[in-house]
Amino acid sequence: MILTLSIITRKCLMIECLMLIHKIQIWNGGILKSGMIREILLMNLDKLVLVLRVVVRLLEASVNGPPEQVKLKRASTMLIALIEKAEYFIYIESQFFISGLSGDDMIRNRVSEALYRRIMRAYNEKKSFRVIIVIPLLPGFQGGIDDGGAASVRAIMHWQYRTICRGPHSILHNLHELLGSRVHDYISFYGLRNYGRLSDGGPVATSQVYVHSKIMIIDDCISLIGSANINDRSLLGSRDSEIGVVIEDKELTDSYMDGKPWKAGKFSLTLRLALWSEHLGLPAGEVNQIMDPIVDSTYKDIWMTIAKVIRKIKGVCLLLI
């Protein structure tokens, strides 16, 4: 279920309301309670607007077909629509990243295809465009990769690498055929790790940070936050039920984009800066270094450089996949 919101000053309260609707759907076999929807619509929340037209469409669609299929297809459609709408950059955090390109009969969701087409459009138009994707280094299942009972871990890794970089169906393979070495000017994948010394001067201990969030930020103006992973299980509509909110700022603040002044959404910009400063290990006083998300000084000199250095020393915060 995707509900479009404007400025949110009481974000937690709205998310609680959405989760309540989600639970009601489950408890009542997917039947939406119109009375509950009306109560939320009538809430007097400062600067909060719940767009009625979207909710009405969900209600009408739920009457005409299985609710699970309706809302999950809307989630997939919203992801792709936001990717197509992006002007300068897309930032994604997801627990899984398993998607297919056009013509792939094994994986049916087309988030990867949407990213591929958006990158190719930027390349053909000779415009700067960045996609940064953060996923777990390893799936969150018990056991190591080599354990006898770790078939699930190995299977998910196979499909993720097939999506990202291995074989003719991967996005990096197809982009490389057309862009060559410039692929990473447009898209890069990362994982996260923590680290610390066991004692003064002692060895470094490190463990992965398991990315469980499902977030997409577009141009520092729109944020999608929800429960749907980028995989067929979440997006096809035949398995898990999901919930998400699209937050589009109407309160704008001065920022920069591609080296030029830019009016960013206050919520989306604040969210991105908080996430990036944590992932990149930047203290609060240095957050201005990443204010512009697509210039080389941010994308290459900070994101890619830190990741490459840490990958060599098996350190911590950021690893380029």
Residue 273 counted as domain residue: no
* Position 66 pLDDT exceeds 60: no
Residues 102, 51 share a domain: no
Model pLDDT, residue 18: 53
The pLDDT of residue 243? 74
Report yes or no on 95 lying in a domain: yes
Contact residues for 87 (Cβ-Cβ < 8 A; gap 6+): 219
Classify residue 30 as exposed, middle or buried by CB count within 10 Å of its CB (0-12, 13-18, 19+).
middle
Is residue 208 included in any domain, yes or no? yes
Sign of CA dihedral 317, 321, 189, 112: negative
More confident residue, 62 or 22: 22
Whether the predicted pLDDT of 15 surpasses 80:
no
Report the pLDDT averaged over residues 105-125: 96
* Structural domains of the chain, count: 2
Tell me the mean pLDDT in the region 115-141: 94
Whether pLDDT at 222 is above 80: yes
Which pLDDT tens digit goes with each residue over 16-54?
455 544 544 444 444 444 444 444 444 444 433 333 222
* Residue 143 contacts residue 135 (beta carbons within 8 Å): no
Amino acid letter, residue 278? E
Does 49 fall in a domain? yes
The predicted structure's pLDDT at residue 31: 42
Q: Which of residues 321 and 227 earns the better pLDDT score?
A: 227
Which residue among 47, 65, 83 closes a domain?
65
Give the end of a domain, one of 253, 271, 291. 253
> Bigger pLDDT: 304 or 147?
304
First to last CA, the chain: 31
Contacts of 255 (CB under 8 A, 6+ apart): 220, 261, 262, 263, 264, 269, 291, 292
Strands (E) across 29-101 are located at: 89-93
Residue 286 placed within a domain: no
Would 2 be classed as within a structural domain? Answer: yes
Positive or negative, the CA dihedral 244, 250, 251, 254 is: positive
Same domain, 180 and 234: yes
DSSP string, 166-202: SSTTSHHHHHHHHHGGGHHHHEEEEEEEEEEESSTT-
Q: Looking at residue 201, what is its pLDDT? A: 80
pLDDT single digits (tens) 199-213: 888 887 778 889 999
Q: Where are the beta strands (DSSP E) in 67-152?
A: 89-93, 130-134
| Burial of 115 from C-beta contacts in 10 A (0-12 / 13-18 / 19+) | buried
Q: What is the pLDDT, as a whole number, of residue 149?
A: 61
| CA 16 – CA 264 distance, rounded (Å) | 26
- What pLDDT does residue 144 have? 66
Q: What is the pTM of this model?
A: 0.78
**Domain end point (choices 220, 253, 286):** 253
Alpha-carbon distances of 112 from 115, 218, 221, 299, rounded to whole Å: 5, 16, 22, 21
Per the domain annotation, does 291 fall within a domain?
A: no
59 lies in the same domain as 84: no
Tens of pLDDT, residues 131-180: 999 999 888 766 666 666 677 888 899 999 999 999 999 999 999 999 99
Domain that holds residue 49: 1-65
pLDDT of 6 > 60? The answer is no
Here the tokens at position 254 are: 């001065």
Q: Does some domain include residue 259?
A: no
